[in-house]
Structure 1
Amino acid sequence: MVVGSFGAAVTSNALTRPTTTDYDHSVAATEVPSGPLSPNINMCMTACIQLEVAFLLAGKQIVSGIGGTSILTSNYWAAQQGAYVPACVITPASAADVLAIVKQAETWQCQFSTKSGGHVPFAGASNIQGGILIDLSSVNEITLSSDKTSAVVGSGQRWANVYAKLNALGLSALGTHTADVGVGGSLLGGGISPLANQHGWGCDNVLSYEVVIGDQILTVTPTSYSDLYFALRGGGNNFGIVTRFTIAVYPLELMWGGSYIYQMAEFAPVIDVMTNFTAQSDSDPKGIATTFLDYTAPVVNPPILANFTAPPHTASTMQVQTEASITTSIPSPWGFQQTFWTFTYKANNALPHNIWVQCEQNVDAFLAQHPVAGFQLGCIFVPVIPTLIKNSNKNGGNAMGLTTDSALMMFLLQITWNNAADQPYVYQFAQAFITEANATAHSMGVNHPYVHLNYAHISQNPFFGYGPTNLAKLRAVSKKYDPQQTFQKLQPGGFKL
């Protein structure tokens, strides 16, 4: 099945859901694990046992699965992640607990991984084979400030719960467009939500971070540890473990949003609508397109989104509803094989048509040669308009290096399938697809170096696309606050500097 999406899904008889030198976005065809598959298991076993004893003496039963008995497949969105078996799983409830775990891991040189929501679709991002898994699901508070302008949110919370609690009070925050994603990973990689055009990325609306780093717990703000504050806005998990975020909160009661369902034959005119929408979005930043179409006010069919009704559509979920309702309206089944691949280009009328032809033709050719069970492919276009980028410059700007020269389009290739044995074929297909699309962008002069961290495959290191100046800043911050390079060496998951 092929799905095209920018709030507008295309159905095809199946469930609908919607390295880099010279910034070359071509990638290796085989998934590279984010760290060694077998850390020193004896050292890790010792660390796990000592942590269990220490926490039990403190009255905390938070260590489980010692000896590799935790089967975690159902705890991860992508089956690749759940296939790893850690030496133990520890579920801390506070930053102090996390600090104790990290110290013990450093003492025994045991590798570890940190899990917020478990939504990253590549092996080892938030799980580890034979090491310590730090599961932040119990660090899950949602505490609204008395003046209702900010909230403290635990890193292990999910956006579905955050939106539900805030929406009930006529409020919202900057998170993600898919509500089953964890707070921690999404904010460290950027985060794009219905309010993004008005207020910037999710990371730009973090007022302070509670971070475990080195042998201390820091409160990081624009004025305290400002260099680390900059690095955490898009720098991933390279600088410590963030346990709590204080985030800005904004008024948002009801909004108009959902999806239009189009037949594949109608998708070419929908692409034209999208490119026109992208060009005009600065005129009304309440309108935004991600995997949904959203207008962040209870206005039915506002002018900025009106053209999406013109192409014939078979169904619509568009209605006035809460953000929580919209972002949970599309099923996101867990436990299947999943992969993301991405690249970014300068918004252009012709390129998305070329990409859509790829989506149709390349899939047919691939499945004729490799009949991969359960294969579903999403071709998803997400505009990044100058207003969004301008609103990201608050508090010194983020690490992602985007400028307001022109509108950009992020392209996300999302593939779901059933069996691990088909992974090499799927990755070869995805590599060829992204390489071809990016080569076309180069030939048209609309290529762009940015690679969105939350959409990237493990072999697409986003930090090269942030530009050499910002990459140098990130590396300097890492060495300053983490001189032992614990979060580069002992926490191998995710994208490293």
Structure 2
Amino acid sequence: MASSPPIVEASLNAAVLCSKLSTALPGKVFLPGSLEYNSSVDSYFFRTAKQTPACILKPQSADEVEAIVKILAANPGVKFAIRSGGHTPNPCQSNVDNGVTIDLRGLKRIDKKEGQDGVLSVGTGAEWGDVYDYLENTGRGAVGSRESSVGVGGFITGGGLSFFAPELGFACDNVVNMEIVTSKGIVNANAHENTDLFRAIRGGQGNFGIVTRFDIKTHERNTYWGGGILYPDTTEDAQFQAWSDLKNGKYDPYAAVIQSYLYFGAQKAFMVSNNMVYLKHIERPTGLAGFENIQPQVPGTNTMRLDTTKNFALELQAWQPLDQYAVYVTTTIKLSPSVGKKINSIWREATNLISDSPNITSVLTYQQFPPQDKDNPNGMGLNASDELHKDHFIIIISIYWHEIKDSERIANTTKDAVNKMEAAAAEENALHPFKYINYAAFWQQPPSSYGQGAKDAAEEVSAKYDPYLLFRKQAVGFKYS
């Protein structure tokens, strides 16, 4: 008799596993058709991530996560996904078909860390808006997402780009301790214990274990200058000149700019936006003048003011397209006006090829590379002495559309565009191999861009904390090979 197709066998194995999990964790396992299951699937931000696992688990504690991990380890034929916020557009990253999805949003407690001034304990399932609400009236800020609905767990383990990046680096570099469920049990990882795991998981996402709690630094910060401005795309030359002026002077750690070139399919219009902050309580600082003074501006779109992280994050969240199909893709380049013009031209050509998709939105975004902390290296293989923050940028192309029939064509067009961008940057010796994992496309493998040293270290960490490679083989997501 012929063997069963792999997908059928996987479904049967997953169904049996879900039954075992239901016995071990009564009331925490939800099957297709249940209200809790449907609510979890529907809560993903993008349709591309709304998959159909055999069951969804909703643990409420690290001990329950540990029980789940032990059962998964005993059933090696079943894939599983780890979900905190569910903000990635990628399929098979924070959700999975015919497997098990661990929905960590029940782990969202936020408390001051006892005995450690300025340290906040945050459950992995909290959203950054929850953190900002907690800190709103304390005069302190946290290095977190610039959009309030992003989950804490995936954001930090992927690095984390924030409003504070030019001054304080990646969000993961502002963590002092992590509580992690490994296949060998619950451990704390920090600068003094399990230091190898602490380094590797910051940038390694779900390759080594499940983080259930982060103890993060907070910083004295109340209100600062920021907001957004929308311009016609005829301002491109002025936009790149503003970058050149900012980068060619003395490095300013307080100026953070997110520059996006946009195509709005509904209006059939190309535009430019700058969302920016200056991390001091100063109105109209000179550090952002090069961008704020660009003319013309679209009337009524200038929101620059003194405000809090909470409100800046809510403002950006309001621009986030929801419940659409989406693809992200990323690369890293050394920016100059000539490189930028080539990249913009390639993006516009690609956007025109897919502009017939109804109400499509296409975005090309430049973000400053954060400085690296030489005394607290993370797992992304970056060398502080390279000083990438002085002239390198993390680029993301993000496309949003409504009809599933356009998905393959749009993904292929986007893939072709980033390949052309990298070739153009390489011609000017401006291409860097690093791929930021939180912006990577499903076909990219960002851990492979971290370099051989980071890969070798990851292998050693896996052998030590996960000898049966539960997280490297059964957990979906980006891998080191």
TM (norm. structure 2) is 0.89
* Aligned twin of 1:203: 172
Contact 2:21–2:68 at 8 Å: present in 1 too?
A: yes
2:258 maps to a residue whose letter is: T
* Aligned twin of 1:491: 475
* Aligned twin of 1:318: 304
* Aligned twin of 2:437: 453
Matches within 5 A, 1:114-125: 114-125=82-93
Contact 2:65–2:181 at 8 Å: present in 1 too?
A: yes
Q: Does 1:333 align with 2:321?
A: yes
Aligned mates of 2:402, 2:209 — CA distance in 1: 34
2:447 maps to a residue whose letter is: F
* Aligned twin of 2:154: 185
Matches within 5 A, 1:57-76: 61-65=27-31, 70-71=37-38, 72-76=40-44
Q: Deviations over 1:372-392 (max 9, x none)?
A: 1221111100011xxx424x2
Contact 2:472–2:479 at 8 Å: present in 1 too?
A: no
* Aligned twin of 1:99: 66
Q: Does 1:383 align with 2:357?
A: no
Contact 1:198–1:285 at 8 Å: present in 2 too?
A: yes
The alpha-carbon distance between structure 1 residues 122 and 464, as it changes in their structure 2 partners (threshold 3 A), is same
Q: Find 2:340's aligned residue among 333, 347, 352.
A: 352
* Total equivalences in the alignment: 449
1:187 Cα deviation (Å)? 0.4
Aligned mates of 1:183, 1:286 — CA distance in 2: 23
Q: Deviations over 1:351-391 (max 9, x none)?
A: 11222222333322443xxx21221111100011xxx424x
Q: Find 1:227's aligned residue among 171, 175, 196.
A: 196
1:405 Cα deviation (Å)? 3.9
SS in 2 for 1:316: coil
Greater mean deviation of Cα atoms: 402-411 or 168-177: 402-411
1:191 Cα deviation (Å)? 0.4
Aligned mates of 1:80, 1:432 — CA distance in 2: 20
Contact 1:281–1:304 at 8 Å: present in 2 too?
A: no
The alpha-carbon distance between structure 1 residues 100 and 180, as it changes in their structure 2 partners (threshold 3 A), is same
* Aligned twin of 1:280: 249
Aligned mates of 1:38, 1:209 — CA distance in 2: 38
Q: Find 2:57's aligned residue among 83, 86, 90.
A: 90
Aligned mates of 2:8, 2:383 — CA distance in 1: 38
The alpha-carbon distance between structure 1 residues 164 and 274, as it changes in their structure 2 partners (threshold 3 A), is farther
Q: Deviations over 1:24-66 (max 9, x none)?
A: xxxxxxxxxxxx866722222222222222223xxxx221126
Contact 1:122–1:458 at 8 Å: present in 2 too?
A: yes
1:333 Cα deviation (Å)? 3.4
Q: Does 1:293 align with 2:273?
A: no
Matches within 5 A, 1:152-171: 152-171=121-140
Aligned mates of 1:76, 1:257 — CA distance in 2: 29
Contact 2:368–2:393 at 8 Å: present in 1 too?
A: yes
Q: Does 1:414 align with 2:384?
A: no
* Aligned twin of 2:48: 80
SS in 1 for 2:205: coil
Aligned mates of 2:88, 2:414 — CA distance in 1: 17
The alpha-carbon distance between structure 1 residues 67 and 481, as it changes in their structure 2 partners (threshold 3 A), is farther
Q: Find 1:49's aligned residue among 9, 15, 19.
A: 19
1:310 Cα deviation (Å)? 2.2
SS in 2 for 1:77: coil
* Aligned twin of 1:40: 10
Q: Find 2:380's aligned residue among 399, 402, 405.
A: 399
Aligned mates of 2:349, 2:472 — CA distance in 1: 41
1:429 Cα deviation (Å)? 1.0
1:148 Cα deviation (Å)? 4.1
1:80 Cα deviation (Å)? 1.1
Q: Does 1:433 align with 2:417?
A: yes
Q: Deviations over 1:56-93 (max 9, x none)?
A: 3xxxx2211268983454211120111x1111111101
- Any stretches of 5+ residues in structure 1 without a counterpart? 1-35
Aligned mates of 2:222, 2:135 — CA distance in 1: 9
Moved over 4 A (4+): 36-39, 66-69
Aligned mates of 1:262, 1:37 — CA distance in 2: 50
1:145 Cα deviation (Å)? 3.0
Aligned mates of 1:373, 1:68 — CA distance in 2: 33
* Aligned twin of 1:6: none
* Aligned twin of 2:223: 254
The alpha-carbon distance between structure 1 residues 137 and 470, as it changes in their structure 2 partners (threshold 3 A), is same
Contact 2:223–2:280 at 8 Å: present in 1 too?
A: yes
Aligned mates of 2:249, 2:479 — CA distance in 1: 34
Contact 1:145–1:151 at 8 Å: present in 2 too?
A: yes
* Aligned twin of 1:126: 94
SS in 1 for 2:393: strand
Contact 1:49–1:66 at 8 Å: present in 2 too?
A: no
* Aligned twin of 2:290: 307
TM (norm. structure 1) is 0.86
Aligned mates of 1:303, 1:135 — CA distance in 2: 45
* Aligned twin of 2:269: none
Aligned mates of 2:419, 2:381 — CA distance in 1: 22
SS in 2 for 1:324: helix
Aligned mates of 1:360, 1:396 — CA distance in 2: 37
1:162 Cα deviation (Å)? 0.8
* Aligned twin of 2:232: 263
The alpha-carbon distance between structure 1 residues 325 and 148, as it changes in their structure 2 partners (threshold 3 A), is farther
The alpha-carbon distance between structure 1 residues 394 and 173, as it changes in their structure 2 partners (threshold 3 A), is farther
2:105 maps to a residue whose letter is: S
Percent of residue pairs bearing the same amino acid type: 26
Contact 2:166–2:368 at 8 Å: present in 1 too?
A: no
Q: Deviations over 1:450-495 (max 9, x none)?
A: 1111111121111222111111111221122111000011112334
Aligned mates of 1:279, 1:153 — CA distance in 2: 38
1:409 Cα deviation (Å)? 0.9
The alpha-carbon distance between structure 1 residues 350 and 382, as it changes in their structure 2 partners (threshold 3 A), is same
Larger RCO of the pair (alpha carbons < 8 Å, separation 6+)? 1
1:143 maps to a residue whose letter is: D
1:188 Cα deviation (Å)? 0.6
Aligned mates of 1:309, 1:482 — CA distance in 2: 50
Aligned mates of 1:494, 1:454 — CA distance in 2: 10
